[in-house]
Amino acid sequence: MKHVIGIDLGTSAVKVLLVNQHGNVVQEVSKPFRLIHEQVGYSEQDPQDWVNQTVAALSDLLANFTGDPDSIEGISFSGQMHGLVLLDENNEVLRNAILWNDTRTTKQCEYIYDVVGEEKLLNITKNPALEGFTLPKILWVKEHEPEIFAKTKAFVLPKDYLRFQLTNELHMEYSDAAGTLLLDVANQEWSTTICDLFDIDMSICPPLVESHAKVGNITSNLASATGLSVNTSVFAGGADNACGAIGSGILEEGKTLCSIGTSGVVLSYEASEDKDFQGQVHYFNHAAPNAFYTMGVTLSAGHSLSWFKDTFAADETFEQLVDNVQSVPIGSNGLLYTPYLVGERTPHADASIRASFIGMDSSHTRDDFVRSVLEGITFSLNESIEIFRQKGKKIDTIISTGGGTKNDDWLQIQADIFNATIVKLKSEQGPGIGAAMLAAYGSGWFSSLKECAEEFLQIDKEFKPIAAHVERYKALYQIYQDVYKHTKSLNERLVNFR
């Protein structure tokens, strides 16, 4: 039996999946990372931690693998987006990586608009200037650490650095490059306009390749350290959301994904780059060939639920926490939650807004609060779905992945608020399985990623919207949308007290 490996380089851990020709996960190994928070708003990691933990995970996987290492034909990657890794002339790391959730670059984002202009930036990059993206981080280093910037000969994103350490080959692929604000998304090339405007030498931008492209083989040193064969091909991989889309079968028009992790994502397939969302949602190159995807983001989706659990039910499991939500009626007995714990991304790019419980009274129980958190998270994700629908997209079926699939009551809430059929897959490995699918496709197992998806992915359950619930939630959703407008100025005034 032939195999491939999907490596999912996340923010808190690396997950390595060994997958056979039928899409079955034969083994899974996960290793954690540490986050470095030197100041408020700073979020960094040591890239060597990624390498060390990935090598450890691969070593564990091969130690328990009874087959021939040569049967592992390919490896590919999914990676956390936007993170900045700076390399010198010897491809040595110059500083800690600045991650996607680092918020130090507000002034640099304002500077980007001053220099480029919002309309021109959207025309080239299809995305607004946000703190999470890579260009603002480069400009921050250029301003605050000029001695490091002067030594910079290349920048890469997290998974690209990890792949370099496995192959000694330096590349970036389009789905991750689209999140840098340096890529001309429509033309799939680095933007000379953006680089020139900020006096960035384009030579620091690595060669661009397709996500399924073979970029090298495992080095002999890596093979010795892990037990892998030097014959194992390495494929470029994709951004975590693009790989999550592949791993959920979002590979043709009309397919939409709702993924609830720490943050929440609503992602929809786009066959071309010509739709105009005025920067309301992200517009990225897909890891599937010649395709794109649009994406809205809720910053504190699963994080809202984990915060509530850690604060009010630390000794309970998530299953215990949500066990009684079916006993609470729609609207949580008049209690409404907005999930802005760390600000918001879609549709409000607002770093100052904060979460609210509205409508509390002494009759409310913990179960009311739990259901209101689930409903609030889902309302926030629905704002992205509404943007897509307003632009003419038909969304009647949504693949749900992540923490939102762990409870059937929450899946029904999604069906009712989204007014769409919610599909739960049998084997849900998200970005890791998407990376494995890129390796399988790159290895020639299938003629297309769609053919691969037909073999690898199967439906477990479907949840249909209930008409009476849909109407009830439509009324509540209007109130939910008003909360942001009425609390925005209050939260801006509270900033100095945080």
- CA atoms within a 13 Å half-sphere pointing along the CA-CB vector of 471: 2
Direct distance between the N- and C-terminal alpha carbons of the chain, in angstroms, rounded to an integer: 57
Amino acid at 398: I
Amino acid (one-letter) located at 388: F
Omega before 347 within 30 of 0, i.e. cis: yes
Does residue 240 have an active-site annotation?
Answer: yes
Query: Distance between CA atoms of 7 and 55, rounded to whole angstroms?
Result: 11
**Options 8, 176, 184, 240, the catalytic residue:** 240
Question: Residue 229 in 3-state DSSP?
Answer: coil
How many other C-beta atoms are found inside a 10 Å radius of the C-beta of residue 169? 18
- Report which DSSP code applies to 96: P
User: What are the backbone angles phi and psi of residue 288, rounded to the nearest 5°?
Assistant: -75, 145
**Measured distance CA(374)–CA(318) in Å, rounded:** 12
CA–CA separation, 287 and 437 (whole Å): 11
Amino acid code (one letter) for 105: T
Ramachandran bin of 392, using left for φ above 0, alpha for ψ from -120 to 50, beta for the remaining angles: left
Distances (CA, A) of 227 to 61, 65, 348, 409, 482: 9, 10, 48, 44, 57
As a whole number of angstroms, the distance between CA 124 and CA 456 comes to 36
Report which of 77, 73, 35 is spatially closest to residue 57, judged by C-alpha positions.
77
Q: Residue for token digits 């209050």? A: 490
Distance CA 372, CA 377 (A): 9
Which residue numbers are catalytic? 240
